Amino acid sequence: MAAKMVDRGREFTERIVSGFVLDDAGKWITLAERKKVEEEVLAHLMGGRLLHEGRWLSFDEVKTARQAAAVPPEEEREETRVIEP
């Protein structure tokens, strides 16, 4: 069992050294792929869009969708919760 752990540690290290990182789902991707994803996310955020139920929408579209769904505040999804100062 200790040998298996050493092998996994070595495999992990080799992937990192080879330029791989774990994505949000725990899948190994290249650092270049991760950078591209991060740049896309930043572009959306800088454009004033929020990720709401898997889609990038403007703040007004998110607000309209939430009102149409009539989701009570205590059931808000954390991804779309507005943080007030």
How many domains does the chain contain in total? Answer: 1
Q: Tokens in use for 27?
A: 């899948």
- Label residue 80 by pLDDT band (50, 70, 90): low
Q: Residue 62 CB: number of other CB atoms within 10 A?
A: 19
Considering only residues 29 and 81, tell me which one the structure prediction assigns the higher pLDDT: 29
Domain membership of residue 84 (yes or no) is: yes
Residue 81 is assigned to a structural domain of this protein:
yes
Question: In this structure, is residue 8 part of a structural domain?
Answer: no
pTM of the predicted structure, to 2 decimals: 0.60
- Report if residue 35 sits inside a domain: no
Distance from C-alpha of 41 to C-alpha of 22, rounded to nearest angstrom: 17
Query: What's the rounded Cα separation, in Å, for the pair 9 and 61?
Result: 46
> Does residue 62 form part of some domain?
yes
Residue 68 lies in a domain: yes
Does residue 23 fall inside a structural domain?
no
3-state secondary structure of 7: helix
Print the domain residue range for 59: 48-85
